[in-house]
Amino acid sequence: MDKDLNLIRSIIMRCEEIEEAMDRFGNTEEDFNDDWMYQYTCSFCLSQIGEAAGKLSPELIERYTEVEWKKSKRMRDFLTHSYHNVEMSVVWNTITQNIPAL
């Protein structure tokens, strides 16, 4: 359980970092598209969220089925292994629609 708690704390911290990036760089998709550092920051955080989600215990995942843990992991895999093919609109939609819910 301590491992899960630390992973959840890490996920929350990365979500907060995405929110801070949005406050710092701007809250519009245009702001996001115009700033590579903004894109990299959010992409890195999403990758870290997926990495942590992939290490959560099966018990925790089964207990909190309303959270889309597998999607977080798939996003991490996609960002890490196919970064040159990532459409930034997908990253933008993820940080604006999924991160607040997470």
Catalytic residue flag (residue 81): yes
Catalytic residue flag (residue 63): no
Give the Å distances, CA to CA, from 100 to 3, 12, 43, 88, 95. 23, 10, 15, 18, 8
CB 66 within 8 A of CB 39: no
The residue annotated as part of the active site, out of 14, 24, 63, 81, is: 81
Distance, CA of 51 to CA of 65 (rounded, Å): 18
The residue annotated as part of the active site, out of 9, 24, 63, 76, is: 76
For the annotated catalytic residues, the residue numbers are 76, 81
